[in-house]
Every structure is written in C-alpha cells, then in structure tokens.
Structure 1
Amino acid sequence: MIIAYRSNGESMMLPVDQQLQTLPDDVVWLDLAHPTREEDHYAQSLTGIEVPTREDLRDIEPSSRLYTEGRAHYMTASLLCHAETATPKLADIAFVLTDRHLVTVRYDEPKSFKLYAAALGRQSNGPCAPHVMLVKLMETISDRTAEILEKAEMKGEALLLAIFGDGNEPVKRRPPRFLENLLSSIGHHHRLISKARDSMASLSRLMTFLTSSPVVQSDAEAKAICLTVTHDLQTLSEHAAFISSNITFLLDASLGLINVEQNAIIKIFSIASVVLLPPTLVASIYGMNFRFMPELEWTWGYPAAIIMMIVSAVIPFFFFRWKGWL
C-alpha cells in the first residue's frame, strides 16, 4: 500500500493498477506500508531513487543504517511496535530523504505513524517541505516513546504495590503461585523497557545523522526541532535506565519473597519433625519386644504411655512459641 501525502497534509492512495507517470508537484511524502515488489518498483519509478525492500531491511548491517547515496539520504531506525500487547517488538523502518520527497518503508504498524498522519490532516500552517515533515515525524516518534515509558512506569508502580502493598495495612496472604506469576509480569515489563532502550539508541543515531545533513543545517527551525528531539531522546534513555533499575529491584524483591515463603514452609516441616520426635521415641521404646518390661504389667501403663507422648510433643511446641520461632 502506498499513501501519498501532500504538502498541505492531505493524503491519497496510489494503487499500482492505476499507475501515474509522475507525482503531483505538491506530494512530499510517500509512505509504503507492507509494500509488494510491484509497489516498490512503482515508488522507484515515481521518485527516481532506489527504495529499500524487505530483504534490504532484514539484512542491513548496524554500521550501514545511515548513509548518503547521490542526492538521497538513507536512514534506518528500529521503532517499538505493539507496546500495549504481550509481545512488543522492534520493527526496522527505512527513511529516504531527498530534496523533493520523503519515502518511508515499513512492514509493521507503529502507532506514531498513525498519530502523525492524523496530525497532518489537521494542520493549517501552509506547505511543508520533506525534511520538515521527517523532522516532525521524528518528534512524534519521540513523544510516542515518552508515552510508552510513562505507561511502563505506571505498570512498575502497580507491580510494586502487588508485591509490598500500599503500607497502610499488612499484606494479606497471597494466593498460591502468586509471586511466581508475578515474575512473568516482571519479565514482560523488562522486555518492553529493553526494546524501548534499543529503539531510542537507534533513533539517537538517526537524529545525529539527520541534524548534520545540509538540508537541516540550512533550516534554523528544523535544526532547532532536531536538537530538541535529540535532547528528549537522551533524557528518555536516562529515564528508561531508571525504570530498568526499578525492574531489577522488583525481580530481586519477588525472588526474596519466594525464598521467604519457601523457608516458612521448610520451617513448618522442620518444627513438626522435632515436635513429633519425642512421641516417636516413647512409642519406639514401648514397641520393643522385651520379655521383662515392668510397664507391660501396669493397669495404667497404656494411658501413661499415651500421656507421655502427648506431653513430650506439647513441651517442644510451647518452647518454640516462647522463643518466637513459630
């Protein structure tokens, strides 16, 4: 699918079966979403530049993500997608900037693209150049990343309350396997933050490359926006590192509480074995088959043995309670 955006923010579809010979003069952005090979060739014929394919994005080396070829600047960044789902992932997005057009190639649906496209439809500040459109798209991506981190921080607070409670009342006994299930939530939380940090590192490199391009250097407003976005990404990276350290604390706390509960269970079994040891000793003594055992001839021998076993079990129990071990 090819969506063309005019300089005034209006959009239109460019179906392959109704191929245009040339693009309208006011089209500045071609967004290729899940393009087929035919759509790749169609975009190349319209813009006169080589458009990265799915194979190019998959096989591109980290050191070859940013380069200039002729009059086109090629940039590839990893954007976080599906952040609200259980399987967030990084999607490689290609940005190709020329004097006349901005071309984006993507095989996923980052929410920032939808947000920016909706904002373009509402703009009323006149024509927009390709490099300005790219810079503002990067600004939207940065804002979307900030939103993801804000929600992630709220999720971390919720996990913290689930582990320790709010402090106003004692933590109630947790259901079985509650903490084990909580570890899964912490793992998903860490996965989201990890991918967000990888995305921001990729975007920071792209912004450095874009800021140093001649077309941005010659535009004071675009350069100012680039510097602001770069600073925002640095701040967000620091904030993501802070959230990541909190996740480490949550993980350590959960594992510690699991150990506490396991130790409590082991303590119960240990105390039970100690409490039952004296009665077992008494029963073992009177279970021995000796011919001469005076207690066997007692009328109250059997009740006396039972009482001895009960007393020998009760005394260790209350002794442990007195020591505070129970």
Structure 2
Amino acid sequence: MIRNITLAGDQVLIANGLPPADRPAPAFVWLEVSRATDVELAEIRGRYGISPRSDAPGVLEEGDHLYIRTLLVSPQNGEDPRFQSVTFVIGETLVASFSAEPYAPFDLALQRMQRRPRLVEGARDVLRRLLQSANDASTLAVERLADALARLSARITQLSAGYNDAGQELGVSDLTDTMLELNERENLLTDFIEAQLTLHRAVRHLSGEIDHKTEPDLQQLVYELLEDVRGTKEHAAFEHDKVRYLQNAVTNILNIKQNQIVKVFTIITAVFLPPTLVGTFYGMNFSVMPELSWEHGFTYSMLLTLVAAVLPLVYIKRKGWLR
C-alpha cells in the first residue's frame, strides 16, 4: 500500500498510490509505504530510483538518497508497546518511509502538517516531524511502563510484608510470578533503549543533511529533537535500572522466605528428634526392661518424652531462632 502526501499551495494533500507524473513538482513528496507488493516497489524504484534492502546497514548513502533504518516504538492501549522496523529514505524533495505495517504515530505528524501547512518547509522538515512523532510515541510508551513498574513496586512492598489486602499470606509462588513479570519488563526496556538509539542515530544523520547557514531554524528544531530523544532514552535507562533493583529486591525476599521455610522444618526436626529417640528405646524387644513392671511406667515414659521435646524448644527460643 502506497500513500503519498504532498504540499499544494496552503494544503497538505493525501492520496493513494504515487503522485501523477504530469503534475508540477511539489515542494515535497512523502511516500508512506506499508504492506507493499513487488509491483508497487518496482513502481517506486522506476519513478524515484529507491528501494530499501533488508541486508542494508543502519545508514546507507546511495546516489542522492540517504537510507536510515530504525526500530520505532508503537504504544498499544492496555498492552505492552510493540516495535516496528521502519526504513526512511531522504532526498532533496522526497521522503519515503517503508514498513511492514502502517506506523500509527505517523498519523499524528500528518495531522499537525494539515493543521499548519505553511510551517512545512520541505522534505527534511517532513522527516523531522516524522521522527518527532516517533519520539512522542516513545515518550508515551515509557511513561506507561513507568506506571506499570510503580504498580509492581507496590506489589513487591506488599510481598515483603507477607500478606495482601485481604489478609491472605503471600508465598513463594507469588514472588515467582512477580519475578517473571519483572524479567519481561527488563527485556522490553532493553528493546526500548535499542529503539531509542536507532531513533537518535536517525535524527543525528538528519542534522548532517541540513545546511545550518540557509536553514538555521530547522537546524535548531533538530537540535531540540536530539535532546528530546536523548531525554526519553535516559528515562528508559532509569526505568531499566529500577527493574534491576526490583529484581534484586524480589530475589532477596525470595531467599528470606525460603530460609524461613527451611528454618521451620529445622526447628520441627530439632524438637521431635529427642522424643523419637526415646520412643525408639522403648520400642526395642529386650527381655529385661524394668519400666515394664513399674506401676507408673507409662506415665514416666510420657513425661520423659515431653521433657525431651520441651528442652530443645526452650533452647531454640532462648537463642532467638523462632523470630
């Protein structure tokens, strides 16, 4: 699918397919290409001499065009953000964006251009607006991730207390589920930082395409965009560090709970081992056992067993091992 966006007078026009070849050359042409067929790609190659290659590096110069491959963040309502590979091609009056699926944040850039078409200065300005919309989407996504991490942090605090709001005891399985969710968040933020690095690279190469003498205002806007992209990346890096901290916290809580479980079984073993030993003695089949002929032999054996159980318990309590 090909959608072309051009500037005609004071209007930004949108149409499907390529612009008619017999019309006067517009100030810029933005080709938004997604789900493209081989026929459409061949048509673009024949008209403009551009064709994205899957094996191309991150940045490639061919003839009068600069190819920039990026990984962009696409926020999803109520879901984790998705990542889309988008290749930009920039020429003197041409901007093309190639992606497997339509990249939704580009619609916001298009709305801004349609609202104030007189401020659109050319192909490089269009690319700046596209990259700005991509960074705005990244900012929204990282803010949502930060909110999700805040909820996870509150849950971990609850887990450290040992009980939920309903008064139910929280165990190792709850900690395991939280750790798995944190691992997913860490992987997501790692991909997010990688995406911001590719976006930063794209803005930096765009800056190199601008003539700072003839386009000082555009150059300043691109510098500001560079700072915005860097700030979003730093925010994502901060959230990534926060995930690592929360992972360590959950690991420590998990170790403490496991140690408490082992301590309980150890105390039970220490308390019941002496009575078991006493019971073992009286379970032997010797012919001479004086206690069998005693009138209170049964009571004596029960008291001996109770004392054998209480003494270790008193010792453990005095040592503070029950806390």
Q: 1:274 aligns with which of 251, 267, 270?
A: 270
TM-score scaled by length of structure 2: 0.87
Counterpart of 2:304 in structure 1 is 308
1:83-106 Cα offsets, whole Å, 9 max, x none, are 667775543211111222211111
Which residue of the partner structure matches residue 14 of structure 1? 17
Q: Partner of 1:43 in structure 2?
A: 44
3-state DSSP class of the match of 2:29?
strand
**Partner of residue 146, structure 2:** 153
2:17 alignment partner AA: L
How far the C-alpha of 1:111 sits from its partner, in A, is 3.6
Percent identity over paired residues: 23
How far is the alpha carbon of 1:262 from its aligned partner?
A: 0.9
Runs of 5+ in structure 1 lacking a partner? none
Query: For the residues of structure 2 that align with 1:139 and 1:232, how far apart are their CA atoms?
Result: 9
Amino acid at match of 1:177: S
Over 3 Å counting, the alpha-carbon distance change for 1:109 and 1:84 in structure 2 is farther
**TM-score, scaled to structure 1:** 0.86
Question: Are 1:320 and 2:316 counterparts?
Answer: yes
> Is the 8 Å Cα contact of residues 2 and 32 (structure 2) preserved in structure 1?
yes
SS in 1 for 2:3: strand
Q: Name the CA distance, whole Å, in 2 between partners of 1:320 and 1:83.
A: 56
Which of the residues 124, 136, 139 maps onto 2:132?
139
Partner in structure 2 of residue 68 of structure 1: 61
Distance in 1 between residues matched to 2:174 and 2:103, nearest whole Å: 33
How many Å separate the matches in 2 of 1:320 and 1:309? 18
The verdict on how the C-alpha distance between 1:198 and 1:85 changes in structure 2, with shifts beyond 3 A counting, is farther
Q: Is the 8 A contact 1:211 1:217 kept in 2?
A: no
The structure 2 residue matched to 1:130, chosen from 123, 129, 142, is 123
Q: 1:119 aligns with which of 112, 122, 131?
A: 112
- Aligned residue for 1:108, secondary structure, equals coil
1:215 shift after superposition: 5.1
What whole-Å deviation, never above 9, does each CA across 1:281-322 have from its counterpart, x for those lacking one? 110111122211110111221232123212322332243234
For the structure 1 residues 147 and 217, does the alpha-carbon distance in structure 2 shift closer, same or farther, using more than 3 Å as the test? Answer: farther
Shift of 1:207: 1.6
- Given that residues 75 and 82 in structure 2 are in contact (C-alpha distance below 8 angstroms), is that contact kept between their aligned partners in structure 1? yes
Task: Give SS of 1:261's match.
Answer: helix
The C-alpha deviation readout for 1:143-166, integer Å capped at 9, x for no partner, is: 221222222222221111111149
SS in 1 for 2:73: strand
State the number of aligned residues: 313
Q: What is the deviation of 1:117?
A: 3.0
Render the CA deviation track for 1:182-221: whole Å, top value 9, x for unaligned: 1111011111211111111112222221101145763122
Q: Whole-Å Cα distance in 2 between the matches of residues 23 and 43 of structure 1?
A: 17
Whole-angstrom CA distance in 1 between matches of 2:255 and 2:213: 58
Q: Which one-letter code corresponds to 1:192 in the other structure?
A: L
Indicate the residue corresponding to 1:204 in structure 2.
200
Match of 1:284? 280
**How many angstroms does 1:252 deviate by?**
0.8
User: 196, 213, 219: which is aligned to 2:215?
Assistant: 219
Contact residue 32 and residue 98 of structure 2 kept, 8 A: yes
Q: What is the SS of the residue equivalent to 2:92? A: coil
Gap change, CA 1:41 and 1:25, over 3 Å in 2 = same
Q: Please, which moves more after superposition, 4-13 or 117-126?
A: 117-126
Q: Give 3-state SS (helix, strand or coil) of 1:157's partner.
A: helix
- Note if contact 1:83-1:192 (Cα within 8 Å) is conserved in structure 2: no
Give the distance between the partners of 1:126 and 1:248, measured in 2 at CA.
Answer: 44
Q: Is the 8 A contact 1:81 1:108 kept in 2?
A: no
Q: Which of 73, 77, 87 is matched with 2:70 structurally?
A: 77
For the Cα contact (< 8 Å) 1:115–1:140, is it kept in 2? yes
Distance 1:211 1:151 in 2: 30
How does 1:159-174 map onto structure 2 within 5 Å? 159-165=152-158, 170-172=161-163, 173-174=169-170
- One-letter amino acid matched to 1:310: L
Change beyond 3 A, Cα 1:24–1:271: farther
Q: How far apart are the structure 1 equivalents of 2:140 and 2:100?
A: 22
Name the structure 1 match of 2:166. none
CA distance in 1, matches of 2:78, 2:180: 14
Partner Cα distance (2:300, 2:45) in 1: 101
Partner of 1:32: 33
Q: CA RMSD in A?
A: 2.6
| Secondary structure class of the residue paired with 2:285 | coil
Separation in 2, partners of 1:85, 1:194: 20
